[in-house]
Amino acid sequence: MVGSMFPGLSKFPDSEIPTWYSLEEPWKTFSHEKGGLAMQIEEKFGKGGVFIHPSAKIGDFVTIEGPCYIGPDAEIRNGALLRKGSWICEGALVGHSTEIKNSILLPNSKAPHFNYVGDSILGCRVNLGAGAKLSNVRNDRRSILINLEDGGIVDSGMVKIGAIIGDSSQLGCNVVTNPGCVISPCSMIPPNETVSGFYRPN
């Protein structure tokens, strides 16, 4: 799944990208067990550590909870909240009043205005419209099902998974994705939509 969803990763050094817990089930990287995002950051930078690359730009009144990684040329704008396990890759943007939690923003992805990104992966060059929210917990608190491209369904066994968004996709303003949503690369979702399951462009 990683290769088909995020082909743009081949242009970036492995040192800037988290190690996938599973190439076929990348959502397992959100696990708090060994191999999860928070543990990977702590193994590199110490328990509770926060790494900010010297070329990254950090605005005023930003809150960063460790462990957290902010890569080269990333930009974190005023009033953003980065909760533990946030991995912000090269050139990615976290905007004003956006909250990122235990998620990966791959190179040059953008969550620029009033977004919530929980336990999610934004592919290279993904853009979230203003107010887009990536929901990560079912209302009934049951484990999250992942719909695959071939029509199969996988029970993740996890209660917190947001969205997995393929490279170069764009979500319109106020789009909401339900937990476990998978959006194929180069998708364009109109404003105010609610997206579930596996989404592919028309």
Paired strand residues for 59: none
Say how far apart CA 80 and CA 63 lie, in whole Å.
6
By the 8 A CB rule, do 137 and 93 touch? no
Question: In the structure encoding, which two tokens stand for residue 89, read together?
Answer: 């890759």
Just list the catalytic residues.
Answer: 113
Which residues touch 1 (CB under 8 Å, ≥6 apart)?
Answer: 23, 24, 25, 26, 148, 164
Say how far apart CA 127 and CA 34 lie, in whole Å.
30
